[in-house]
Amino acid sequence: MDATFTSQYMYVVGMDTDGASDAQLEEFNRFYNNTHMGEVVAMNPGFLRAHRYELAKPDPRGDFGPRWLAVYEMADAKAAATYSERNDGPPEGRPSYTAVPNAWRETAKTRWRIIWRRIAESGSLEEPPYSIFLVGIDPPAGASESDIAEFNEFYTNVHVGEVMAASNYGRGTRWEQERAFLHPEPGCPRYLANYEADDVTGKELETNPSRPALSIGPVVWQEHTTPWRLVYNRVHSYTPGEG
């Protein structure tokens, strides 16, 4: 299987299936895994592979994340721009996918549609991540360009490494929002951190009371907000030409 989250861009679709029966969930997931994922990759230029994740631990502060994530890895800025242009253009210029089954139509609701651009990475994994800890972060409102530079320097070069060491994650990547087509109010975070574990050994910080203290950081970091923290486990991956 190809490495996960190593592409320059990714398109993330989050969905909920509230009220779905076991039979409906089975139909929804079977169609998503066996039909829809492959069609999305095949019909969108520059889409490389796809992965699906299920919410394993929601944010303890509230319902901030969708149950299901589909992550489509995109090769480069051209792939991201082409997808956006087709999205904004007339319907006849967009892909025509196989009609979704009744279970999808009756129970599924799209909650997120976001393109992210990778800006930093640290560490490595021998296997594709089974568990991912996603953290959405916003710098303080009104931060200047120099403030943002200081924020990012600390985030990338200090904080990510400390989180990985404290919580046994093998790899951490940072992403900046390229475009949010859909996200509930008050809006999509500017930055995303993705901490990866190749099994269930990764532990989000709140569940590790013995973890080392994290650095306080500069003032611009201290004033950041964290709209959501979400743990997901992989349920399916698709790479063209494999299985």
Q: Is pLDDT of 205 > 80?
A: no
Residue 241: per-residue pLDDT: 85
Residue 2: per-residue pLDDT: 53
Asked whether residue 111 is domain-assigned, the answer is: yes
Q: Which residue range(s) make up the domain with 26?
A: 9-238
Q: Which of helix, strand or coil describes residue 95?
A: coil
* Average pLDDT of span 194-218: 73
The DSSP result for 158-206, as a single string, is IIHHHHHHHHT-SEEEEEEEEEEEE--TT---SEEEEEEESSTT---GG
Asked whether residue 4 is domain-assigned, the answer is: no
- pLDDT bin (cut points 50, 70, 90) of residue 166 is confident
Helical spans, DSSP H, in the chain: 22-31, 37-43, 77-88, 102-107, 145-154, 160-167, 219-222
Residue 124: per-residue pLDDT: 87
Asked whether residue 2 is domain-assigned, the answer is: no
Residue 78: per-residue pLDDT: 98
Residue 105: per-residue pLDDT: 97
Asked whether residue 3 is domain-assigned, the answer is: no
Residue 208: per-residue pLDDT: 56
Question: What's the mean per-residue pLDDT of the chain?
Answer: 93
Residue 34: per-residue pLDDT: 97
Q: Is pLDDT of 206 > 70?
A: no
Asked whether residue 73 is domain-assigned, the answer is: yes
Of 54-63, 157-166, 193-202, least confident by mean pLDDT is 193-202
* Average pLDDT of span 232-240: 94
Q: What is the pTM of this model?
A: 0.94
Please count the structural domains in the chain: 1
Q: Is pLDDT of 203 > 70?
A: no
Residue 212: per-residue pLDDT: 72
- pLDDT bin (cut points 50, 70, 90) of residue 1 is very low
Q: What is the CATH number of the domain that holds 169?
A: 3.30.70.100
Residue 210: per-residue pLDDT: 62
pLDDT digits (tens, 9 = 90+) for 98-144: 999 999 999 999 999 999 999 999 998 877 788 999 999 999 999 99
* Average pLDDT of span 39-67: 96
* 119-133 core/surface letters (b: 16 or more CB in 10 A; e: else): eebbeebeebbbbbb
* Average pLDDT of span 215-232: 97
